[in-house]
Structure 1
Amino acid sequence: MAGGNQAVSVNPPDAQEHLSTNGSDWLWTVFSIMALSTLLAAVATIMRPRGTRLFHQLAVIVLTTASIAYFSMASDLGATPITAEFRGDETRQIWYVRYIQWFITFPTLLLAMLLATGLPLSDIVTTIFMSLVIVVSGLVGALVHSTYKWGYYVFGLVSLFYIWYVLLWHAPTSSFAAGGVVRRGYYLGAGYFSFMLITYPICWACAEGGNVITVTSEMIWYGILDILTGPVFLACFLWELRGVDYEAFGLQSGKYVDRNVVATRSEKVAPPAVAAPAAPAPAVLAPAAEPAAAPAPEQTV
């Protein structure tokens, strides 16, 4: 694996405020953590019986995406120079590959949490959409060099308030199909995840927004946050679900083959039809017997 010095030399930065060698070394460390976590999650997924791998597979999606993103950033790839606000004509590296990562991982994490609740599908879809609004608003705001970037920042904060409402108020009031064990774990996970969410806008305001901290400091800050909301959070989340009966979630496959199997099973267990009693045959009336003829009178000779 290439070190930070080699990565910055092979892929030289094109902005005045750019990633340092120490920053690249730190990103390689985060990439190693993400890659190792991906392998562990994949092994844990394979060891699970079929039909109980959904949440583990979502974890693999999150960690794989994060591994690719941090490989790119550690290699000093996936950034573009943008004129920094409050810095005159000085440019700063804006890492769009990080927002591509969040565009996939943020909704997936929310999906994993909300599937454990009793929320209807419409509420889950709306919450996921709001998470995409946050990511897109952050990316567009980071690419804007004027003060108009803070308008996108406000859009992201409003969407974040909606997600907090769903995670901390609306979802806990729903009926948890899997019972109290999942409800207790959800409270812990939702509180932890909601707290981590507020730290990202603070880092954005200090880094891409206000250009208060350097790019290397930005990488250290975001790297710690992504580790806490990625491998650490997912490990605790999956641990809480280790003994839960997945059939209680009501998650069924939509495959055509599975539907046929379900239909076949339902036919097998259906009660046999009771034949209706046959209608009685109409009675055939026998012809009335003729009266016997009277004996003829005897004749006298």
Structure 2
Amino acid sequence: MEFQFLPQFVPTQTTISVNPRGARVVRTTRPIFLSRPTRSVSVGIGIGVFVGVSSIVGVGIVIVVGIGPHATPRFIHTTHTGHVALWVFFAIFAAALVGVGITSLRVEKRARAFHWLSAAILGVSTITYLAMATGLGITFVSTHFDGKAPQLVHLFRQVYWARFINYLFTTPLVVLSLSLLAGLSPSDTLVALLATLGMVVTALLSALSPARWHSGERARWGWFAFSCVGFVAVWCTLFSEGLKAAKLRPSRTRGLYYLLALMTFVLWTAYGVIFALTTGANVINVDGEIIAYGVLDVISFIGFSYLILLVHVHGEDDTWTLPEWFVIHRQGSGTDGRGTYGAVRTEE
């Protein structure tokens, strides 16, 4: 077959269409001009091949091959129920954030370390739920289809990736709060924080991994396995070194650490189960996912924050008490020329 280029191209007056076996050959005396190549779909049993010859400006001869019908996209997304749930959780977190601000006024500034950490946790969560409720931080990721003829259906599931950005900030703050409560060493605290970050990042990569085919599913569950490794590393640190450090604290503080650590461990385990049943295996729909994660977030962040703020008794021997220079305004100049810290002087 000889290909003719534009300088030598002369439109032919005859085109021939070669159809699948059993069909007739059609001749026409009219030239056929197409604006751009088109793909044809064969008709018949199995996968047929259709070869057409057409003249196109700038191209001599174009051979178009169709490979059968395309997959039909289907989308799994939230409904009105899910949208309402997002706004409800936003309101709950906003109210809880205001409550933390009010409770912080009851204690002196040196005892507000947990108040600031709790405010950061609830503040980030409030912003995240507002973003998701207004349609931000959302994407669609392909997932597997278990119905008939999966090759003909391309299934997409709605993923709220903003949720993982929330966890990227809030879960390390929860771990930091537990570490300060127990009096964990800085080195062990750093290990727990890094493991927490790794756990969340790999969970995000798992959620965003396309999993239409088996290779994609293996990648998704592989990232999930790495996230589980980070989970184990976090709790090995908090259950081993954390318990040792907590034994040196007063009995009330030690008991509160045991309660919060066990509660957080159970809730984080539930997060993994929910992830596996929603984004992972596509068993629970998006509305159910929103409600399940929302309930866990309320208990994990609001419940955790208010327990640590209301149950714990402040004392000078607490490892989390802030130093005086950190909370008092600078006053005057020291002997070395740098500012000193103390009460703000007022005029008589």
- What range is the shorter-chain TM-score in? 0.7 to 0.9
Structure 1 position 108 matched with structure 2 position 167: no
Partner of 2:80: 21
1:74-223 alignment, distance < 5 Å: 74-86=133-145, 88-145=153-210, 146-147=216-217, 148-174=219-245, 178-223=249-294
Aligned 1:287-298 pairs, distance under 5 A: none
Q: Which amino acid aligns with 2:87?
A: W
Determine the C-alpha separation between the residues in 2 that align with 1:253 and 1:91. 55
What is the CA–CA distance in structure 2 between the aligned matches of 1:175 and 1:218, rounded to whole Å? 35
Displacement of 1:62 in angstroms is 0.5
For residue 228 of structure 1, the aligned residue among 292, 296, 299 is 299
SS in 2 for 1:248: coil
Q: Please give the alpha-carbon distance, in whole angstroms, between the structure 1 residues aligned to 2:240 and 2:249.
A: 19
Point out the structure with the larger helix share. Answer: 1
> Does 1:42 pair with 2:101?
yes
Kept in 2: contact 1:58–1:112 (CA 8 A):
yes
Structure 1 residue matching 2:110: 3-state secondary structure: coil
What amino acid maps onto 2:195 in structure 1? M
Q: Is the 8 A contact 1:17 1:215 kept in 2?
A: yes
Comparing 137-146 with 252-261, greater Cα deviation is found at 252-261
Supply the distance in 2 between the matched residues of 1:91 and 1:124 (Cα, whole angstroms): 39
- SS of residue paired to 1:211: coil
Q: Write the distance in 1 (CA, Å) between the matches of 2:296 and 2:334.
A: 45
Preserved CA contact (<8 Å) 2:121 2:301 = yes
TM-score, structure 2 length as denominator? 0.67
Flag structure 1 segments of 5+ consecutive residues without an equivalent: 1-13, 266-301
Could you tell which deviates more after superposition, 65-74 or 30-39?
65-74
Instruction: Render the CA deviation track for 1:242-273: whole Å, top value 9, x for unaligned.
Output: x2215531643675959969x989xxxxxxxx
Stretches of structure 2 lacking an aligned partner (at least 5 in a row): 1-72, 147-152, 211-215, 342-348
**Is the partner of 2:116 in helix, strand or coil?**
helix
State the match for 1:284 in structure 2: none
Q: State the distance in 1 between where 2:318 and 2:249 align.
A: 5
- Structure 1 position 162, deviation (Å): 1.5
Q: Indicate the SS of the match to 1:115.
A: helix
1:238 correspondence with 2:309: yes
**How big is the shift at 1:80?**
0.8
Match of 1:69 among 128, 144, 151: 128
Q: What percent identity do the matched residue pairs reach? A: 26
1:71 is displaced (CA, Å) by 1.1
Determine the structure 2 residue equivalent to 1:281: none
Alignment partners' CA distance in 2, 1:166 and 1:19: 38
8 Å contact from structure 1 (residues 15, 81) kept in 2? no
Larger Rg: 1
Q: How big is each residue's C-alpha offset from its partner over 1:27-73, in whole Å with a ceiling of 9 and x where there is no partner? A: 11111110000000011123321111110110000001111111111
* Alignment partners' CA distance in 2, 1:245 and 1:222: 35
